[in-house]
């Protein structure tokens, strides 16, 4: 056998052994033999570099370091699930399903809701094409280099058609314990819980770090199962299992909602014994063919729901109440607590929102209080244990002046605000917001670094961020900085200059302008000059832009300081133009129509075709219904084309599609 053939043989063997060990938990070779074969493969691949393959088992150890993550537009939106918190919610969900389908009892599939990081895996020709995070459901981050280090995720499968599967990446409890033990020995900050550790590992730019974290994954959804003739969700999971994917062993098919409720009660008891964190149970209708009839909202499918376990309660002492100042000047009281572990992490602080919240709960400093994590995420003070008071407690008194700049506070029910625009706390929060992931995404410019740079008089305003290179020598004298970290930070700052307009708009921290509103405005006006000239009346006519937001926008752009800041940022090279897909002004048959793409197009990728259609003013959907206007199909078109024909929806093959694009002057 030639060396080249031996390379391919070793890759197949090692993939087989990975599957046996990490998925089946039934290895057929010992560690010594596995290591011997891996070393042989690494040696041969080094000898024949032309055989390099990013999906080779030898590459699962990681080692590639990226400058940043590339964004990926999901082929089909990653929807969120609606939540149920009690049996009444579940019975209401079941009633709506039965009414929609006109049947007496429904077959459901109940699954453990793994507490980790959602991931989409796209396969082309049987090979992993990319792995992407959920992101905002429409656009995620390409994290393939990190995901291939998870040995339970197959990189090559025996499926010739293109397909997509989704699942949850998680860190087993034993892996978290080992990781935190090593961190403690190195005097490093510990991970609060397994979810944070998993997310931090996958979003790390160094894939070797992800490889060392011993992550795992369960796959829970076969997106285009119907293209393979599958009509049942449970059967689709079995199909994926046969093809080498790791499916949670506790998945159960349940006849009727009562059996689902019994399953929930069973795993509420078993939850502590599992080697991974779960925060609830996911319930899905088993019959895939009924999904279209049941329907979905813009963000959530109606054929599935997530039952959330009741939050775990803990008791601790309210030692003090301190105040923080947000970027808008909002004053927030915060509980300082005796450290207590809640839902897997150590909690020492919790927001108390505002004065009314504290008074309604009758909290006193020194009280013993019950604490939970809302949604298993955010620490929340539930109540004071009044019967445990001993007389040493002190009443809460709301402050009247800003805790940072001492300016007299203003009250706007139910909040207190610092009106001083130059308050250092407000400035620091604005800088943190501008640099945050959903805004300019400047890696390395987090809360502690921003505060440090502010106190060192290096960054006092947003434009100062882009002049930080002038302080390169001074930064070398600051504890925690090195040549490499300074270079990485300056590179991240430089890279942020090319962000699209909606990112800058959101980053500027305009009151009432969240990320969604920023994108609507950016797409409508395309550059900031046109937006700055818009009147309140004009802004109010835009869908989803109400009078409060339009007033805030006009006030922001009328402020001379803000105008000067934008001029400074332009001079520093910041982009103020929308870079996303634009809507064509040319009349065409796709404008304001709903279009579904199916099959493999020869001249365009699915992403390219979607971008073109959106530019022409179309809405691209992932499913066919009576409301669909066109189905554009390529080779190997499956059930979507069949359904379109049965519903009388107009269909276009690729040549017809291209002809219409040419009519609209799109080549």
When pLDDT is cut at 50, 70 and 90, the band that residue 458 belongs to is very high
Q: Give me the mean pLDDT over the 329-353 stretch.
A: 88
| Cα separation, 409 vs 207, whole angstroms | 48
What is the model's pLDDT at position 498?
94
Q: What is each CA distance from 537 to 546, 547, 548, 549, 550, in whole angstroms?
A: 10, 8, 12, 11, 8
Q: In terms of pLDDT, which residue wins out, 365 or 475?
A: 365
Is 472 a residue whose pLDDT tops 70?
yes
Is 28 a residue whose pLDDT tops 80?
yes
Q: Give me the mean pLDDT over the 104-123 stretch.
A: 94
Q: Give me the mean pLDDT over the 574-585 stretch.
A: 79
Q: Give me the mean pLDDT over the 337-345 stretch.
A: 81
Percent of the chain at pLDDT > 90 equals 50
Is 667 a residue whose pLDDT tops 60?
no
| Cα separation, 371 vs 314, whole angstroms | 5
Catalytic residue check, 113: yes
What is the model's pLDDT at position 367?
95
When pLDDT is cut at 50, 70 and 90, the band that residue 209 belongs to is confident
pLDDT in tens, 611-661: 788 778 787 887 888 889 999 988 777 778 888 888 889 999 888 888 888
Q: What is each CA distance from 483 to 7, 43, 436, 458, 492, in whole angstroms?
A: 40, 34, 23, 17, 14
Q: Give me the mean pLDDT over the 208-228 stretch.
A: 92
Is 251 a residue whose pLDDT tops 90?
yes
Is 243 a residue whose pLDDT tops 90?
yes
Greatest mean pLDDT range, 57-61, 147-151, 207-211? 147-151
DSSP reduced 3-state for 630: strand
What domains, with CATH codes, occur in the chain? 3-61 (1.10.287.610), 83-308 (3.30.470.30), 314-412 (2.40.50.140), 424-496 (1.10.150.20), 501-571 (1.10.150.20), 594-663 (3.40.50.10190)
Give the residue from 239, 229, 194 showing the smallest Cα distance to 213.
194
Is 23 a residue whose pLDDT tops 80?
no
Joined tokens for residue 151: 């040995």
When pLDDT is cut at 50, 70 and 90, the band that residue 585 belongs to is low
What is the model's pLDDT at position 583?
61
| Cα separation, 93 vs 86, whole angstroms | 11
Q: In terms of pLDDT, which residue wins out, 621 or 227?
A: 227
Is 8 a residue whose pLDDT tops 70?
yes
List the alpha helices (DSSP H) in 73-204. Answer: 87-101, 144-147, 173-185, 194-202
Q: Is 42 exposed, middle or buried (0-12, 13-18, 19+ CB in 10 A)?
A: middle
Q: Which of 113, 373, 640, 643 is catalytic?
A: 113
Cβ atoms of 452 and 478 within 8 Å: the answer is yes
What is the model's pLDDT at position 331?
94
Q: Give me the mean pLDDT over the 411-431 stretch.
A: 91
Give the residue from 71, 63, 57, 69 showing the smallest Cα distance to 206.
63
Average pLDDT, the chain: 88
What is the model's pLDDT at position 576?
94
Where is average pLDDT lowest: 8-17, 61-70, 428-437, 529-538?
A: 61-70
Q: Give me the mean pLDDT over the 406-426 stretch.
A: 91
Where is average pLDDT lowest: 104-118, 282-296, 631-645?
A: 631-645
Where is average pLDDT lowest: 100-109, 200-209, 440-449?
A: 200-209
When pLDDT is cut at 50, 70 and 90, the band that residue 63 belongs to is low
Work out whether the CA dihedral 386, 390, 391, 395 comes out positive or negative: negative
Q: Give me the mean pLDDT over the 349-367 stretch.
A: 94
Q: In terms of pLDDT, which residue wins out, 36 or 257?
A: 257
| N-term to C-term CA, the chain | 49
What is the model's pLDDT at position 64?
62
Q: Give me the mean pLDDT over the 144-173 stretch.
A: 92
What is the model's pLDDT at position 666?
67
Which residues 6+ apart lie within 8 Å of 317 measured at CB? 337, 338, 366, 367, 368, 369
Cβ atoms of 443 and 488 within 8 Å: the answer is yes
pLDDT in tens, 496-507: 999 999 999 999
What is the model's pLDDT at position 615?
77
What is the model's pLDDT at position 567?
95
Greatest mean pLDDT range, 199-213, 422-436, 514-528? 422-436
Cβ atoms of 275 and 130 within 8 Å: the answer is no
The pTM score is 0.55
What is the model's pLDDT at position 377?
65
Where is average pLDDT lowest: 195-204, 299-308, 462-471, 605-614?
A: 605-614
What is the model's pLDDT at position 67?
64
Q: Identify how many contiguous H helices and E strands the chain contains and give both numbers.
A: 25, 24
Q: In terms of pLDDT, which residue wins out, 66 or 443?
A: 443
| Cα separation, 101 vs 97, whole angstroms | 6
């Amino acid at each position: 056998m030639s060396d080249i053939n031996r390379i391919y043989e070793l890759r197949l063997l090692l993939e087989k052994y990975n599957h046996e060990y990490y998925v089946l938990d039934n290895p057929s070779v010992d560690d010594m033999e596995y290591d011997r074969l891996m070393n042989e493969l690494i040696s041969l691949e080094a000898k024949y570099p032309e055989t390099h393959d990013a999906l080779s088992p030898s590459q699962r150890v990681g080692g590639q370091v990226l400058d940043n993550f590339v964004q990926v537009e999901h082929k089909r939106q990653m929807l969120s699930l609606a939540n149920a918190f009690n049996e009444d919610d579940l019975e209401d969900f079941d009633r709506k399903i039965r009414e929609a389908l006109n049947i007496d009892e429904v077959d459901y599939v109940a699954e453990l809701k793994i507490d980790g990081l959602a991931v989409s895996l796209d396969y082309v020709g049987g090979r992993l094409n990319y792995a992407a995070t959920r992101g905002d459901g429409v656009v995620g981050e390409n994290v393939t280099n990190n995901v291939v280090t998870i040995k339970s995720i197959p990189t090559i499968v025996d499926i010739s058609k293109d397909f997509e599967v989704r699942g949850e990446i998680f860190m087993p409890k034993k892996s978290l314990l080992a990781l935190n033990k090593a961190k403690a020995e190195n005097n490093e900050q510990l991970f609060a819980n397994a979810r944070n550790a998993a997310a931090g590992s996958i979003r790390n730019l160094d894939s070797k770090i992800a490889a060392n974290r011993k992550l795992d994954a369960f796959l829970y959804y076969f997106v285009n199962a119907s293209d393979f003739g599958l009509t049942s969700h449970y059967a689709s999971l079995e199909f994926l299992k046969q093809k080498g994917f790791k499916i949670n062993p506790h998945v159960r098919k349940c006849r009727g909602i009562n059996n689902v409720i019994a399953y929930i009660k069973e795993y509420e008891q078993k939850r502590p014994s599992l080697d991974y964190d779960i925060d609830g149970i996911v319930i899905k209708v088993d019959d895939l063919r009924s999904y279209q009839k049941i329907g979905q909202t813009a963000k959530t499918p109606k054929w599935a729901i997530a039952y959330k376990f009741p939050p775990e309660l803990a008791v601790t002492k309210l030692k003090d109440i301190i105040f923080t100042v947000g970027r808008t000047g909002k004053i927030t009281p915060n509980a300082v607590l005796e450290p207590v572990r809640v839902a897997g992490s150590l909690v020492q602080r919790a927001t108390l929102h505002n004065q009314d919240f504290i008074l309604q709960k009758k909290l006193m400093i020194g009280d013993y209080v019950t604490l939970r994590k809302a949604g298993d995420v955010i620490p929340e003070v539930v109540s004071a244990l009044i019967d445990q008071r001993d007389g040493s407690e002190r009443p809460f008194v709301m402050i009247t002046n800003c805790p940072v700049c001492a300016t007299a506070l203003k009250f706007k029910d139910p909040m207190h605000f610092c009106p001083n625009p130059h308050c250092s706390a407000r400035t620091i929060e604005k800088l943190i917001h501008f640099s945050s992931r959903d805004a300019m995404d400047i890696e390395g410019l987090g809360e502690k670094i921003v505060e440090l740079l502010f106190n060192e008089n290096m960054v006092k305003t947003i434009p100062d961020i882009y002049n930080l290179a002038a302080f390169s020598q001074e930064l070398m004298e600051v504890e925690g900085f090195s040549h490499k970290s300074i270079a990485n930070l300056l590179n991240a700052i430089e890279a942020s200059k090319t962000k699209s307009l909606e990112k800058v708009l959101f980053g500027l921290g305009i009151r009432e302008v969240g990320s969604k509103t920023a994108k609507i405005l950016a797409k409508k006006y395309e550059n900031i000059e046109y937006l700055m000239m818009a009147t309140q009346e004009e802004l109010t006519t835009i869908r989803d832009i109400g009078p409060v937001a339009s007033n805030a926008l006009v006030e922001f752009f009328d402020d001379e300081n803000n105008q000067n800041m934008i001029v400074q940022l332009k001079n520093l090279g910041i982009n103020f133009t929308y870079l996303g897909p634009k809507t064509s002004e040319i009349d065409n048959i796709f404008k304001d129509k709903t279009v579904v793409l199916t099959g493999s197009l020869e001249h365009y990728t699915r992403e390219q075709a979607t971008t073109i259609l959106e530019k022409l003013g179309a809405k691209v959907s992932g499913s066919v219904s009576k409301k669909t206007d066109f189905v554009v199909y390529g080779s190997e078109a499956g059930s979507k084309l069949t359904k379109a024909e049965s519903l009388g929806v107009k269909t276009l093959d690729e040549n017809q599609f291209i002809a219409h694009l040419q009519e609209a002057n799109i080549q």
